[in-house]
Amino acid sequence: MSAAPPLPPPDRTALRLGYAGLVPFVACALFVWLLPQRPSEHAFVADAMAKYAALVASFLGGVHWGLGMLRPAATTPAAAPFAWGVVPAVLGWSAALMPPYAALPALGALLVACYAVDRHLYPAHGLAAWLTLRFRLTAVASLSCFLAAAGS
């Protein structure tokens, strides 16, 4: 695959929205630890976080569908971005069916795996400038999942 010309780094709006997307991760991780004596609220928060993480993983896979649709057929292997694009959705959905104590570490690992794939594939799409933001978002989101799992 030939590399696409580099695109500019994320603008202020993308940065703000990306960081705003971390609020549910951080808040849920915090509340999991603050609500251990309130079983129903604790369970609700842990489950909410697992479901949010599954949705985010699905979104990260969807980005590859968008990238695949934008690339001319001659420069992109036909199935590669689309095949990878469904993996985070299916694994995220599978994790969302688990109890939070099992789902959260699996989802944290899935978020890290999504970043690893993006780190490999983004430069070919001219998106290397987005990797710093992707790393920061992944670090906070996955750490939040792992911390919440430890408190579940």
Query: What Å distances lie between residue 47 and 56, 103, 110, CA to CA?
Result: 14, 9, 17
| Tens digits of residue pLDDT in 26-35 | 999 999 999 8
How many other CB atoms sit within 10 Å of the CB of residue 122?
A: 21
pTM above 0.85, yes or no: yes
Alpha carbons 103 and 100: distance in angstroms, whole number? 5
Nearest to 57 by CA among 99, 93, 3, 103: 93
Q: Classify the C-alpha dihedral 98-117-8-129 as positive or negative.
A: positive
Q: Is 68 exposed, middle or buried (0-12, 13-18, 19+ CB in 10 A)?
A: buried
The string of pLDDT tens digits covering residues 22-74 is: 999 999 999 999 988 888 999 999 999 999 999 999 999 999 988 888 876 65
pLDDT score of 72: 65
| Nearest one of 95, 16, 98 to 56, comparing CA atoms | 95
CA atoms within 13 A on the CB side of 42: 14
Q: Which tens digits make up the pLDDT trace of 95-136?
A: 999 999 999 999 999 999 999 999 999 998 899 999 999 999
